[in-house]
Amino acid sequence: MDHNILVAYAIGLLLLYLVARVLFVPIRWILILVYNSIVGGLMLWAVNLVGGYVGFHLPLNLITAPLVGFLGVPGLLMLTVLKYLAP
C-alpha cells in the first residue's frame, strides 16, 4: 500500500472523530438539561402536592423546573423565599 493512502485514511479517521466529538458534546449537555428539568419538575410537583393541603403553591413552568433541577433543594428554597418577598 502506498503511504499516501495510509495518511489519507488516518486524516479521515481523525476528522471523523473530531466531527463526532463536536456533535455529541452539545447533545450530552442538552440531555443533562432535560434530565435536570424533569427532576426539577417532579420536585415542584411534589411540593405543590403536599403544599396544596396548606394552601402553598409554586408555579411549574419552563423557568422554575430547570432552575430547581439545576440548583436542587437550594433552588427550591430560593423560589419559596422569592414567592414571599415578591408582591
What pLDDT does residue 78 have?
A: 92
pLDDT digits (tens, 9 = 90+) for 21-80: 888 888 888 899 899 999 999 999 999 999 999 988 999 898 989 989 889 899 999 999
Say whether pLDDT at 5 is over 70: yes
What pLDDT does residue 46 have?
A: 93
What pLDDT does residue 30 have?
A: 87
What pLDDT does residue 1 have?
A: 66
Taking only Cα atoms into account, the Rg of the chain, rounded to an integer number of angstroms, comes to 23
What pLDDT does residue 54 have?
A: 92
What does the block give as the cell for 80?
Answer: 419559596
Q: How far apart are CA 86 and CA 66, in angstroms?
A: 20
Q: Please identify which residue in the block is written with the cell numbers 417532579.
A: 42
Q: How far apart are CA 3 and CA 51, in angstroms?
A: 71
Q: How far apart are CA 26 and CA 12, in angstroms?
A: 22
